[in-house]
Structure 1
Amino acid sequence: MYPLSLKSLKMKLRTNNQYVRCGLAEFLGTLILILFGCGAVAQMELSGLAKGQFLSVNIAFGFAVTAGAYICAGVSGAHLNPAVSLSMYLLQRMTCRMMLVYFLAQFIGCFTGAALVFALYFDALHVYSGGNWTVSGTQATAGIFASYPSEHLSVFNGLSDQVIATAALMVCILAVVDEANNAAPRGLQPFVIGLVVLLVGLSMGFNCGYPINPARDLAPRIFTAMAGWGLEVFRWALVVGASAGTNGRGSGGDVYL
């Protein structure tokens, strides 16, 4: 009995079930998004700005979106964001059942990515905070995983911030992929949308860190609640605003993000 070749193993593991294929693709893409993006935040915060700055975090999130999109674009269209999937459902480009599969895969992927960042920087977190996981204060570390408001931000302004930022993101995405509007070449679309995410971060990141993605914000927030930060992490959850900015209309092919 000879061992299976890599090609034979791939054929045995391959599935034609579109729900499974798209779900696994979105899971892996969002995992990479959080691993690189939140990993950059952890490196900046835990090193006391010695190993990163706000600009480096913005660049990391932009390219994290690009990397995640290239991983899964050929299978799922690389939504990587429930707001994008909801927009595609409203535009009648996917069924309700498929949208729910995307939602689940994206949340699990972001949750797993946050767990990997926690494992990666576990010792540094302990040294930085003495093992005291806090949401606020001089040694707060919850902001590594999810977005929290600046001191000046009111609830209303936080909501409007997310609606505006997410809507602007969706308008740009739909323009990038709109074949009737000088769309970017398909192979470059993930890269261009990564630049759009970078632009959103550079222009709208001051108030609350531009989550613009319900899965990216809520799933790591749930992880931190389970990992020891407690229920205080839910005091500010920006999911509603990120979902409310998705009512754009457009035409074109798959949407990447």
Structure 2
Amino acid sequence: MTPFMGELLGTMLLILFGDGVCAGVSLNKSKAQNSGWIVIAMGWGLALAIAIFAVGRFSGAHLNPAFTIGLAMAGQFPWEKVPSYIAAQFIGAFLGACLVWLQYLPHWKATEDTGAKLGTFATGPAIRSPFANLISEVLATFILFVCILAIGANKFTEGLNPFVVGFLLVGVGLSFGGTTGYAMNPARDLGPRIAHAVLPLGKKGSSDWGYAWIPVVGPLVGGSLGTLFYYAVFGS
């Protein structure tokens, strides 16, 4: 498998499981409806672990344009590979969201709440305040990336690293996710937001493009700062 396909399939799995748990919790007549934030946080943590297990040996499992760019800025990843990785991540995120739509096909019509439908695909703020929302995404992504790189510097029993990173995402979601839904990944938000815009979901309302720049810019800034900070303080 090529690194491009690794990133595409890995990001697709991340979104398939991650947006899948959001759909299960949010959509009407789902057996998981209203099961809560802890279920969503656990679902996303397991999604990340599964995706890393699946494609880590092929592409390094970046699964996130912010991580790819941050590593390149820190001199840990070649810039010439950045465009193909980012393209694969966005394509995979879009395809993963489309598969979630297919999985929950009859539930879109059964759900009248347009906000619940959008929240299945993309993030949104609990309190709309662009500056505060941007800071939340920057800070959460900064912490996530510093911790991921720190975890990678430790030696674990073979095969446990993805689980540890997955539980890190659970912790970040529980501690920092209540403000904006913790996108922390431009592809994770923008790819599914595009899917929301183009897929037939019945009455679906706006895709909230006025907010869409925050879960793109915030993670890019926070991820770059976090990666540069880690290598400046802890070394390679």
Encode CA deviations 1:114-134: one digit per residue, 9 max, x unaligned.
Answer: 0000111120111122xxx83
Indicate conservation of the 8 Å contact 2:28/2:110, yes or no: no
Does residue 88 (structure 1) correspond to residue 60 (structure 2)? The answer is no
Q: Does 1:236 align with 2:206?
A: no
Q: 2:12 aligned with 1:31, yes or no?
A: yes
Instruction: Give, in whole Å, the separation in 1 of the partners of 2:141 and 2:24.
Output: 26
1:189 equivalenced with 2:172 (yes/no): no
One-letter code aligned to 1:95? P
Whether the 8 Å contact between 1:153 and 1:207 is mirrored in structure 2 is no
In 2: Cα distance, 1:48 partner to 1:127 partner: 7
Map of 1:157 onto structure 2: 132
User: Offset at 1:186?
Assistant: 5.3
Q: Say if 2:17 is the partner of 1:45.
A: no
- Is it true that 1:141 corresponds to 2:117 in the alignment? yes
Between 1:47-56 and 1:26-35, the stretch displaced more is 47-56
* SS of structure 1 residue aligned to 2:76: coil
Partner of 1:102: 85
Matching of residue 198 in structure 1 with residue 181 in structure 2: no
Shift of 1:232: 4.0
**Farther off after superposition, 202-211 or 221-230:** 221-230
Does the CA-based 8 Å contact 1:175-1:183 persist in structure 2? no
Question: 2:147 is aligned with what amino acid?
Answer: C
Shift of 1:48: 6.8
Distance in 1 (CA, whole Å) between partners of 2:30 and 2:139 is: 29
Question: Which TM-score applies when normalising by structure 2?
Answer: 0.88
Please tell me whether residue 57 in structure 1 is matched to residue 10 in structure 2. no
Distance 1:184 1:127 in 2: 46
Q: Distance in 2 between matches of 1:164 and 1:183?
A: 27
Q: Secondary structure at the match of 1:234?
A: coil
TM-score, length-scaled by structure 1: 0.81
Distance (whole Å) between structure 1 residues aligned to residue 22 and residue 106 of structure 2:
16
1:97 Cα shift? 2.1
State the partner residue of 2:185. 213
The CA distance in 2 between the partners of 1:184 and 1:85, in whole Å, is 23
- The answer for the alignment partner of 1:226 in structure 2 is 198
Paired amino acid for 1:213: N
Cα distance in 2 for partners of 1:234, 1:153 equals 13
Separation in 2, partners of 1:45, 1:230: 16
CA shift in 2, pair 1:93/1:185, >3 Å:
farther
**Between Structure 1 and Structure 2, how many residues are aligned?**
222
- Please say which of residues 189-198 and 242-251 is displaced more in the overlay: 242-251
Q: Indicate how the Cα distance of structure 1 residues 196 and 100 shifts in structure 2: closer, same or farther if over 3 A, else same.
A: same
Letter of the aligned partner of 1:144 in structure 2? T
Shift of 1:168: 0.1
Q: Distance in 1 between matches of 2:89 and 2:166?
A: 18
1:172 aligned to which of 147, 153, 174? 147
User: What is the alpha-carbon distance in structure 2 between the residues aligned to residue 226 and residue 54 of structure 1?
Assistant: 27
Provide the aligned C-alpha RMSD in A: 1.9
Give the structure with higher Rg (CA): 1
Whole-Å separation in 1 of the counterparts to 2:21 and 2:175: 19
How far off is 1:201 after superposition? 0.3
